[in-house]
Structure 1
């Protein structure tokens, strides 16, 4: 029986001066990504997503809807094969000041949706393509 690990995060968006913007982070490996992290004891998956977004980016958000779940396996040096699930939500930014958690990520910025999609395609993780695409569809944005 493989060990199981659950993480959660989100595609965070905001309206600024009537323009929709999408939040993307640059992770510590220099890749374009989405804020996410591991579930802690006693948390719901939704609480995990919102806490991780707040810790990594300084933004307090509210969940609008689920986007999708990415499942994959990886080899952990200690536990062997781990079945990992990452639950992503569409999250509307409500308050806070954008600030990267330097211990975890390199940078965080807001992007116009088409720019966000280009950044994801150029320097993101392949399995995040579907997450960002579905999130943009939920926001009625065609890319």
Structure 2
């Protein structure tokens, strides 16, 4: 039996004067990640993405535009292989204070684009590389080496 799980999340950014910053989370596996979570009944993908950003980071945002849908599989001890589909959006932070959801993530930090690119490429999930890449393109940010 194939189990499918649909989630949504975002690449969250804010402007501090001329400086743009990106919201990066470190998950409980010590990996760099993006806020995301499972869709609840009756929610649109956009609503799921914004709710998960708020729950995991404390930040209220607004959807700017869709980035990418990624697909991967992971193994669940009780259910076996899970086919995962994640819809990512570019999200502008509009308010809120950083409050990590400690059940799910270790920490949440605002980073310069250069730093966010560096940590994503070194200790981030590989399937998020293209998501970050698309966000950088849309925000006209220089990409790291």
In the superposition, the TM-score normalised over structure 2's length comes to 0.94
Q: Which residue of 2 aligns with 1:60?
A: 60
Quote the offset at 1:80 in angstroms: 2.7
Alpha-carbon shift at residue 15 of structure 1 (Å): 0.2
- The 5 A counterparts of 1:1-143 are 2-143=2-143
Q: How far did residue 101 of structure 1 move?
A: 1.1
Distance 2:53 2:14 in 1: 14
In the aligned structure 1, how far is the partner of 2:3 from the partner of 2:27? 25
Q: Residues of 1 paired with 2:82 and 2:120: CA distance?
A: 26
Deviations 1:56-95 (A, max 9, x none): 0000000000000110122323333321101100000000
For residues 122 and 58 of structure 1, the distance between their equivalents in structure 2, rounded to whole angstroms, comes to 26
Q: Distance in 2 between matches of 1:46 and 1:139?
A: 19
Displacement after TM superposition at 1:41 (Å):
1.3
CA apart distance, 1:18: 1.6
**Unaligned stretches of 5+ in structure 2?**
none
Deviation of 1:123 (Å): 1.1
TM-superposed deviation, 1:96: 0.3
Q: Aligned pair count?
A: 143
What is the TM-score when the length of structure 1 is the normalising length?
Answer: 0.96
Computed over aligned residues only, the root mean square deviation of the Cα atoms, in angstroms, reads 1.1
How far apart, CA to CA, are the structure 1 residues paired with 2:80 and 2:121? 31
Q: Displacement of 1:142 after TM fit?
A: 2.3
